[in-house]
Amino acid sequence: MIIVFLLALTIVLIITFFRIEKSLNLFQNIFMYFVLSFLITTSFDILILNLEYIKLSSNFYLVLLFFLMQTSFFPLIIILYFNYLSASKSRLQKFNLIILCLASLFLIEYTLLSNKIIIYKKWTSLKSALYWISLLLTIYLLNKAFNKSISDEVDC
């Protein structure tokens, strides 16, 4: 059941992502996708394999689903957030967006947790919150650096 639900949710997100008009240019979106996929898979590998703070389910399909979440759902949510962020004018709008983005990430993480796809060992929700916030900050700074380096070639 959970596999079907998360799979459907990911498909809907992918379709939405490609259908909506984005305020960042194509190259920025591609850049963010690659960097996010790398950072998310790397950090989860460190947490699961090296530090053993999080345990992964031993079910083959659930692990594949988790891989799909790491490479599609989480990056796309964050890219959408940055697209809306650059289009938003007021501070309230920006605040609402970050709350919405973090809530979506948490909700999916909670779904993974409650269905035992991931199991916290020495990990907590607070650490998770710090993780997502620092990831957003990192990608924001990297995107800024990328924009700066390509600004003479492409309109950002």
Partner 1 sequence: MLPLPKSFDKNEIFLITVLFLLILIIRFLPKRFPKVITILILLEAFTIARLADHLLASAHVMGIDFYDIMDTGKYEFFGLFTYLIFAPFGYLFVYLYDWIKPRGVYLCLYIISWSLFSTCFEWIMVLFDIYKYKNWNLAYSSIVYLVVQPLTILFFEFLIREYNKMKE
Q: List residues near partner 1 by CB under 8 A.
A: 25-27, 30-31, 34-35, 37-38, 41-42, 45-46, 48-51, 56-60, 63-64, 67, 70-71, 146, 149-150, 153-155
Tell me the C-alpha distance between 147 and 71, whole Å: 23
- Least Å distance between CB 128 and partner 1? 17
Rank residues 71 and 111 by Cβ distance to partner 1 and give the closer one.
71
Rank residues 3 and 63 by Cβ distance to partner 1 and give the closer one.
63
- Least Å distance between CB 4 and partner 1? 19
Rank residues 99 and 154 by Cβ distance to partner 1 and give the closer one.
154
Report the amino acid identity of residue 25.
Answer: N
3-state helix, strand, coil in the chain (%, to 5): 80, 5, 20
Say which residues have a Cβ less than 8 Å from residue 28's Cβ, sequence separation at least 6.
Answer: 143, 146, 147, 156
Rank residues 105 and 117 by Cβ distance to partner 1 and give the closer one.
117
- H or E segment to which residue 22 belongs: none
Tell me the C-alpha distance between 27 and 33, whole Å: 10
- Least Å distance between CB 1 and partner 1? 20
